[in-house]
Amino acid sequence: MRKWRADEYPLICYAVGHTLRNLRLDRGWSQRELARRIGSHREIVGRVERGVHSIRVETAERHARACGGTLLEVLAAVDAALFELGLSECPAVARRPFREWLHCTDVEDA
């Protein structure tokens, strides 16, 4: 497994924030509306979306659920974004549809 370099961490935060922002925009919500739905503040939502504030897994899951998605879908989208930035070692995962990726295994059926 690849270790992240310290200079790559802001890019990871940006990919997470960008993914969550797209989820919110797909719903047509303002930052204030999303913050209300997840029990946060608009300023925090904005900082997360800009990638200047890291986010806990529990908070990412609240974002995903509020927008009708799952944490796994958010993580798959983040992985695809990181692949595009050249930071993911899982190109097969990033190129496959999420549902197909979710059910794949490393072991072939006998």
pLDDT at residue 10 in the model = 78
pLDDT at residue 110 in the model = 34
pLDDT at residue 3 in the model = 64
pLDDT at residue 5 in the model = 66
Which of these, 98, 92, 109, 100, lies nearest to 70 by C-alpha position? 98
* Chain centroid to CA 46: 15
First to last CA, the chain: 27
For residue 30, is it left (φ>0), alpha (ψ between -120 and 50) or beta? Answer: beta
* Average pLDDT for runs of 10 along the chain of length 110: 65 86 92 95 93 87 89 85 72 48 41
Tally Cβ neighbours within 10 Å of residue 43.
12
In one-letter notation, the amino acid at residue 70 is: T
Beta carbons of 64 and 38 less than 8 angstroms apart: no
CATH numbers and ranges of domains, the chain: 6-103 (1.10.260.40)
